[in-house]
Amino acid sequence: MSAAAIHDDAAMAQASSGAVVLQATGVTMRFGGLTAVNNVNLTVSEGEIVGLIGPNGAGKTTFFNCLTGMYKPTEGQVTFQGTVLPPKPRAVVQAGMARTFQNIRLFANMTALENVMVGRYCRTSAMALTSILRGPKYRHEEEATRERAKQLLDFVGLSNTAEHLARNLPYGDQRRLEIARALATDPKLILLDEPTAGMNPKETEQAKELIFRIRDLGLAVVVIEHDMRFIFSLCDRVLCLVRGETLVEGSPVEVQRDPRVIEAYIGTPDEDEVDDEAAKEEHS
Amino acid sequence: MSTQLRRSPDPKASVDSAAPSMQWWLVLAGTVLLIAGSFLSWSFTPAILGNVTITGLPAPLQIFTIVIGVLGLFLLLLRMGRFHHISTLLDSARGLRALGVTATAYLVLVVLVIALQAPGLANADPGVFVCLVGAGLMVAGSLRMPSDPTVDPISVHLPSWAEILVIVALMALVLFGAAYALGQEDGTVFSLFLLFLSGVVVALQRAGLFGWIGVIAARNRRVITLGAFVVAFLFPLTQDGSDANMSIATQVLIFATTALGLNIVVGLAGLLDLGYIAFLGAGAYVSAMMSHSAFANIGWKPPFLVVVLIAATVSSVLGLIIGSPTLRVSGDYLAIVTLAFGEIFRLTVNNLDGNNGPDLTNGPNGIPGVPELEFGSFKFGDTHEIFGITLGRFANYYFLLLVVAALIITIFTRLNNSRIGRGWIAIREDEKAAEAMGVNVFGLKLFAFAGGAFLAGMAGSIKAHQDVSVTPDQYIFLESAFLLAAIVLGGMGTVAGVLVGATVLKLLPEKLRFVADYRLLTFGLLLVLMMRFRPEGLVPSGRRALEFHEDDERLAAKVEESHIEKVTPTGGRT
């Protein structure tokens, strides 16, 4: 686990020096009577990897959606590099925050390269007339877009499958392609929603290594994951959500040792039934 | 269907290279009978079917069966193992089967026509029955024939001159066929020609020829575009001043041009627009109102090019007004709103007659007497002579429209193949994800909508002059529906598809009384059949076909393969 050791040192160095990138304060999301996310705070600094864990239905993805403008939080605000973000996905991406999806949402009938090139959309400017007239400036921009997309595919290790359709890629490659597409938007912060779901141990290891390399580019990373070994060996800080509320926040070691986390995942024998009933009520 | 990979399970089982089998001889006998019978007289009555009474001198209808016979002989030779280069490409058994069925159906129809029009079966000569027996033998023989193993056409490389030669030959055939079809006055002969044509096309497609031609076409895209335009430009020269056919051709071209604009909205951006004809109408009305017509109610008469710009701008502003509130919501709302917009447009121009508002459009009477266009000293109403060939009024407009069509095709392909085009595809694939990746979903939709309206306005401004008058009943919902039908039939998101669809939809009613009388019924049936068997259209783009067949893995592999072929340097990237 030399990678982990190196990363620990780096984390120590960066955690103290990095400027705050994202600050979410008091984010609350209610759907009718259901409070999916309740008063959650999150601060992410440059070059930091933050993990977000919690049992199913804890509100992790909803929290992500609030951060990325897919949902407008009922209360609270999200500040990115000192400015309050409007709840519009496009503005969020423009500001420098990109995401991947829990259930892969690639453009299935486009090639891998084209998928990444779509990610470049918000950093390029060719409009109708330039596209039709095809002047030197347009061609230069297209070439640059293509070049950058190829670099990114290379970065995530998909250079050989650039011209393959996204839907024909193996599952693990699709996950990596989604990351490449998100990176193409030149983000300062990347949010990964279960990046290793459905992966085998070897692929998980590769994914971890990829996330470290992304961090080394100077990006901040927020990861949702269920794989505890993965998250505790990856993150600088871990936030555990349970029923929409922050249960614990701290270093991986602290969170790992916290009995409440174990309880939240597995439940205590006595409260088991009560918990289940409460959960049922909440869902109905 | 043609796009599927075919690999016979047991490659050694089939080709009768060494000793021709029983079936082979049967089919051979069939083709020989078919050809021989075509040289005989088919009927006693010279008045029907373009005179098929003369023995030894085949009429066009008989030449068709000879063509089928010759194609059959060719495929039989392939089965013998001749022309090794091509025989690996084509599955002759499937081709022969389709040819046999086509010939049989064709001849049965001929016999029926003789029996009905002559009238009486007694008017049929032995020749036609000889042919019928031959066709029957072809079917019987080919039914049991095992399929040939074929290789994937992508792996076959001919010298580039040979590929270009194939394209040129194909273009010449298209030009010749179009001229012939348009020249047919007799509806029966025209239908039989169509049957023959579609039968041969299906047979060659079954045999796998079209897969190969598709690969060649993809490799030589420029040649094929250039060739298509040369053919289109040469077409009026084949008509020698015949206004009847040129009028139809001009109609087809206007229809196709408008459909191309609509295809940007429907095919590229994936928006369903049911009121597109209103944008064409807006352009036409603006153009008519600013023309020198005695009934035009606007005093300002700028030069035509300015009028075109104004007409297009007015249309696109209308597009913006309709689009900006509705494009924010997803799904069917847009279809409903555009449908209503089409009606609003029709009712408005019907009522702006001075009684219910400003006198702009003369109400239901429209604006008649829109003068012919003039560019400098070139008057579009005059007849011109080039190389001793007379080019009439319609030919002049035809050429102008061809230029406009070329412009729109350029815009279409370049947009499709740019940052904006990628954005459109992303929106079609997954709107939420596109938005989350920074694509300006609303802006791109609005642009497609207003841009499509702009092009329609442009086409409309020419249509006003070509039609001489502009009336509200030219721009009704039905026309929008036909435009959409042309796209669905031809293929969403492709230029060639729309051209094919527009031609079919405009040409059939002109040439066939039956289709003209039961236009809605036939087109409705046609669309239902298309939806069932080929929802992506006759000439779909690979990506569009994939969108309609989400779980067709073989198709996905195929599309990917041809894409990789296209972008790798060895494949002759254009």
* Range name among A203-212, B359-368, B481-490 with the lowest pLDDT average: B359-368
* Range name among A155-159, B390-394, B415-419, B495-499 with the lowest pLDDT average: B390-394
Name the more confident of B423 and A267: B423
Question: Are B487 and B573 part of one and the same domain?
Answer: no
d(CA B443, CA B526): 35
Task: Assign 3-class secondary structure to B150-180.
Answer: CCCHHHCCCCHHHHHHHHHHHHHHHHHHHHH
Q: What is the pTM of this model?
A: 0.80
Helical spans, DSSP H, in B40-91 = 60-79, 84-87
Q: Could you tell me if B451 lies within 8 Å of chain A, comparing CB atoms? A: yes
Q: Provide the shortest C-alpha distance from residue B163 to chain A (in Å).
A: 25
* Highest mean pLDDT (candidates A124-138, B369-383, B535-549): A124-138
Q: What pLDDT is stored for residue B84 in this prediction? A: 62
Interchain CB distance below 8 Å, A165 and B563? yes
d(CA B363, CA B297): 12
In a domain, B345, yes or no: yes
Q: Provide the shortest C-alpha distance from residue B306 to chain A (in Å).
A: 19
What average pLDDT score do residues A224-238 get? 90
Question: Are B106 and B164 part of one and the same domain?
Answer: yes
Name the closest residue on chain B to residue A146, using Cα atoms.
B419
Q: What pLDDT is stored for residue B151 in this prediction? A: 67
Question: Are B259 and B156 part of one and the same domain?
Answer: no
Q: What are φ and ψ of residue B343, in 5° steps?
A: -70, -40
Q: Quick one: DSSP state of residue A78?
A: E
Select from A114, A168, A182 the Cβ nearest to the Cβ of B422.
A114
List the A34-45 sheet strands across, edge first: A34-45, A20-31, A75-80, A83-84
Exposed, middle or buried, A79 (CB in 10 Å: 0-12/13-18/19+)?
middle
Question: Are B454 and B572 part of one and the same domain?
Answer: no
B476: left (phi over 0), alpha (psi -120 to 50) or beta: beta
Q: Could you tell me if A204 lies within 8 Å of chain B, comparing CB atoms? A: no
In 3D space, the residue among B274, B318, B282, B278 whose CA is nearest the CA of residue B451 turns out to be B318
In a domain, B516, yes or no: no
In a domain, B506, yes or no: no
d(CA A172, CA A185): 21
Question: Are B228 and B307 part of one and the same domain?
Answer: no
d(CA B56, CA B59): 10
Question: Are B198 and B250 part of one and the same domain?
Answer: no
Instruction: State the total domains in chain B.
Output: 3
Cross-strand partners of A75? A28
Residues in chain B: 574
From B196, B219, B234, the end of a domain falls on: B234
Question: Are B326 and B197 part of one and the same domain?
Answer: no
Question: Are B466 and B549 part of one and the same domain?
Answer: no
Question: Are B169 and B250 part of one and the same domain?
Answer: no
From B234, B261, B293, the end of a domain falls on: B234
Q: What pLDDT is stored for residue B155 in this prediction? A: 66
Interchain CB distance below 8 Å, A107 and B439? no
Name the more confident of B9 and B160: B160
Domain that holds residue B49: 3-234
Cross-strand partners of B243? none
The single residue listed with the structure tokens 């030959």 is B169
Q: Could you tell me if A167 lies within 8 Å of chain B, comparing CB atoms? A: yes
d(CA B129, CA B291): 61
Question: Are B28 and B116 part of one and the same domain?
Answer: yes
Reported as a pLDDT band with limits 50, 70 and 90, residue B154 is low
Structure tokens that stand for B130 in this block? 């000889």
From B462, B492, B522, the end of a domain falls on: B492
| H and E: helices and strands count for chain A | 12, 10
Q: Provide the shortest C-alpha distance from residue B437 to chain A (in Å).
A: 6
Please count the other Cβ atoms lying within 10 Å of the Cβ belonging to residue B454. Answer: 24
Residues 6+ apart with CB under 8 A from B441: A90, B427, B431, B434, B435
Name the more confident of B56 and B318: B318
In a domain, B473, yes or no: yes
Question: Are B294 and B221 part of one and the same domain?
Answer: no
In a domain, B150, yes or no: yes
In 3D space, the residue among B34, B104, B98 whose CA is nearest the CA of residue B69 turns out to be B34
Question: Are B276 and B402 part of one and the same domain?
Answer: yes
Structure tokens that stand for B70 in this block? 């010759």
Q: How far is CA A32 from the centre of its chain?
A: 27
Q: Mind listing the pLDDT tens digit for each residue in B56-102?
A: 677 777 888 888 888 888 888 877 766 666 666 677 778 888 888 88
Cross-strand partners of B389? B386
In a domain, B517, yes or no: no
In a domain, B532, yes or no: no
In a domain, B126, yes or no: yes
Q: Could you tell me if B560 lies within 8 Å of chain A, comparing CB atoms? A: yes
